[in-house]
Amino acid sequence: MSTDVSQPRSVKGEQTRELILTTALRLFRENGYDATTMRVIAREAGVSVGNAYYYFASKEHLIQAFYDSLIRQHREVALPRLAGVRDLATRLRITIATHIELMQPYHAFAGGFFKTAADPTSPLSPFSTESTPAREEEVAFFAEVVSGSDARIPKQLLDDLPELLWLYHMGVILYWVHDTSEDLARTYELIDRTAPLVVKLIGLTRLPGTKGVLEDVLDLIHTLRPR
């Protein structure tokens, strides 16, 4: 007779984890990031404080879990929109605008956790060890965005381009955090106007005489890349 009860426990644990996360996100929207404590989150979720900390070591780890799930959702929503689109500028616009669209409900408290993310010791930092899986997953998605396009990418740029596009994406998100325009219109305008510029810059790297400059830029990026 089987006595394995690990699967039910695993399902229950995942349900508890999801409950804590969704409760935290609701409280962040209602009360702000700084004003919401782990104790309040635990009380609202109907779990003990110790149980909340069992699943999430800190508020920062709650936001990291949210961002991980957002990345998966981003891919699921963006891929159908990218189907059949070959123009790289259009693919970039779709990819980044979709991410902004999915984050829009959380814009009100975004400043709180991005302020924390600016701390290089925070697990929320996009360059932290804790953020490595999410960062690599996003960079890999940008690699798909590039490979599915008809753009001619110089060979020496091909390997680094997905990471450079991710950095461009992070710059757009930083602008989004500070955007106070109605329905984030300025952020969407930023995406619409910069995506073609990025592709034009990529095209310029194919011109004669730019190979040395490109190699210098890539060498600098490799040198400064977090280790």
Does pLDDT of 113 surpass 90? no
Judgement on whether residues 183 and 79 belong to the same structural domain of the protein:
yes
Residue 225 has a pLDDT of 66
- Written as one string, the DSSP assignment of 32-71 is -TTT--HHHHHHHHTS-HHHHHHH-SSHHHHHHHHHHHHH
Judgement on whether residues 40 and 120 belong to the same structural domain of the protein:
no
Does pLDDT of 213 surpass 90? no
Judgement on whether residues 100 and 34 belong to the same structural domain of the protein:
no
Judgement on whether residues 14 and 90 belong to the same structural domain of the protein:
no
How far from 11 is each of 37, 62, 194, CA to CA, in Å?
26, 19, 44
Higher pLDDT, 227 or 107: 107
Judgement on whether residues 142 and 70 belong to the same structural domain of the protein:
yes
Judgement on whether residues 64 and 34 belong to the same structural domain of the protein:
no
Judgement on whether residues 134 and 211 belong to the same structural domain of the protein:
yes
Region 133-148 average pLDDT: 94
| Residue in this structure with the two tokens 């891929």, named with its chain if needed | 79
Q: How far apart are CA 109 and CA 119, in angstroms?
A: 17
**pTM of the predicted structure, to 2 decimals:** 0.82
**Tally of domains in the chain:** 2
Does pLDDT of 87 surpass 90? yes
Q: How far apart are CA 71 and CA 11, in angstroms?
A: 22
The mean predicted confidence, pLDDT, of the chain is 86
Residue 38 has a pLDDT of 94
Which of 25, 56, 87 is the C-terminal boundary of a domain? Answer: 56
Judgement on whether residues 33 and 121 belong to the same structural domain of the protein:
no
- Tens of pLDDT, residues 61-77: 888 888 888 899 999 99
DSSP letter (8 states) at residue 181: S
Judgement on whether residues 132 and 192 belong to the same structural domain of the protein:
yes
Domain interval for residue 48 = 1-56
Region 134-149 average pLDDT: 94
Judgement on whether residues 16 and 111 belong to the same structural domain of the protein:
no
CATH number reported for the structural domain that contains residue 211 in this entry? 1.10.357.10
Tokens of 92: 């970039």
Judgement on whether residues 6 and 108 belong to the same structural domain of the protein:
no
Task: Give the chain's end-to-end CA distance (angstroms, integer).
Answer: 51
- Tens of pLDDT, residues 39-57: 999 999 999 999 999 999 8
Nearest to 173 by CA among 114, 108, 94: 114
Residue 5 has a pLDDT of 38
CATH number reported for the structural domain that contains residue 46 in this entry? 1.10.10.60
Does pLDDT of 106 surpass 60? yes
Judgement on whether residues 77 and 116 belong to the same structural domain of the protein:
yes
